[in-house]
Amino acid sequence: MKKLFFVLLALSIASVSFAQTSAKGAAITWEKSTFDFGDVTQGDKVEHVFKFKNTGSEPLIITNVQVTCGCTVPKGWARDPIAAGQPGEITIAFNSLGKFGKQNKVVTVISNAINPEGGQISFLANVLEKKTFN
């Protein structure tokens, strides 16, 4: 009787765990959610392509990509739904003009993804003073 009880308990726990991990919806999984440009000279314009995959069970719809500064520009993200299992990408451009020192910028991806960690990407840059020669 005790064995039967433990077997039923184990099956109940397993079914609850499975139900929680199989939620329906789109999900963004980034190859890398952060990128470090390293040292850039003041005035340089640099870009990085953030790649992801829709690891959910429903189409992913990105409705907006928000930045915190005019120095950062989101370029080229899919306006059409991205099917489950398919890849996608977002290009982020950074203009270091008027910046100096360590920069840490966050980009927010607005979508129908059910996983909150898929909603942000970020990049770092160390902007060095532009040297002028007389």
Domain ranges of the chain: 24-128
| 106 pLDDT more than 50 | yes
Q: What percentage of residues in the chain have a pLDDT greater than 70?
A: 82
On average, the pLDDT of the chain sits at 87
- Under CATH, to which class is 24-128 assigned? mainly beta
Tokens matching residue 4: 């039967």
Give residue-wise pLDDT tens across range 30-78.
999 999 999 999 999 999 999 999 999 999 999 999 999 999 999 988 9
d(CA 78, CA 99): 30
One-character DSSP codes across 66-121: EESSTTEEEE---SS-B-TT-EEEEEEEEE-TT--EEEEEEEEEEESBS-GGGGEE
Adjacency order of strands within the sheet including 62-67: 34-41, 120-128, 101-111, 62-67
Distance CA 74, CA 47 (A): 10
Under the banding of pLDDT at 50, 70 and 90, the label for residue 132 is: confident
